[in-house]
Amino acid sequence: MSLLSLACFRNEEAAYEFVESKVWPRGPVCPHCQESSNIRKLNGSSTRIGTYKCYGCLKPFTVKIGTVFEASRLPLHVWLQSIYLIAQADHVVPARELERALGVSPKTAKVLTYRLQKAIYSSVARIRPSLPAGSGPTPRLSMPPRTEPRSEALERRRATALEDIFSAFHPV
């Protein structure tokens, strides 16, 4: 049985539940006012899947807000399939390969590839310290020297790619 046969890769509601459990391990948090105690799930017949309403600021929201999934019409389970395929690859997955594997248009595959690679590699940028304003010119940051062989670095990146992406969802 392949991991791609899990419900979160095939069903939209299961995909939302999976992402919610990763992004909000202690329950939903309003991205607008950071309220977590006065939130209810909306269950109307015309309500989108996974929509919550914060009764502190009276704004609706989903788990997609503030993530790489935001402003995307692509179903969440397709996003999870692409994350899985990128995480399991031994190389950088070209957009053409995602297009064939997922059955999406070339433009959609390019957007998926761009957003996910940006999310994976943005964890390095978030670790860099920020300097207070007016402290002089910004020092030039260079990459540290490689201390491990390339194959070990690739294996470590591939093994933690899903965690990197889900940790990139949380705003700094």
Q: What does the pLDDT look like over 110-128, one tens digit per residue?
A: 999 988 888 777 655 444 4
Do 78 and 43 share a domain, yes or no?
no
pLDDT tens for 22-33 read 888 899 999 999
Split into its structural domains, the chain has a count of 2
Q: Distance between CA atoms of 65 and 43, rounded to whole angstroms?
A: 19
Q: Is the pLDDT of residue 161 over 60?
A: no
Do 91 and 122 share a domain, yes or no?
yes
Do 56 and 86 share a domain, yes or no?
no
Task: List, in order, residues 6 or more apart from 65 with CB less than 8 Å away.
Answer: 31
Q: Is residue 90 a contact partner of residue 158, using CB atoms and an 8 Å limit?
A: yes
- Min mean pLDDT across 16-25, 93-102, 142-151 is at 142-151
Do 44 and 81 share a domain, yes or no?
no
* Mean of pLDDT values over 130-140: 50
Do 91 and 104 share a domain, yes or no?
yes
Stated length of the chain: 172
141 assigned to some structural domain? no
Please give the pLDDT value at position 45. 87
Do 20 and 36 share a domain, yes or no?
no
Please give the pLDDT value at position 171. 39
Structural domain boundaries enclosing 44: 28-62
Do 110 and 33 share a domain, yes or no?
no
Res. 99 pLDDT band, cuts 50 70 90? very high
Do 49 and 107 share a domain, yes or no?
no
168 assigned to some structural domain? yes
Res. 158 pLDDT band, cuts 50 70 90? very low
Do 100 and 156 share a domain, yes or no?
yes
Do 75 and 102 share a domain, yes or no?
yes
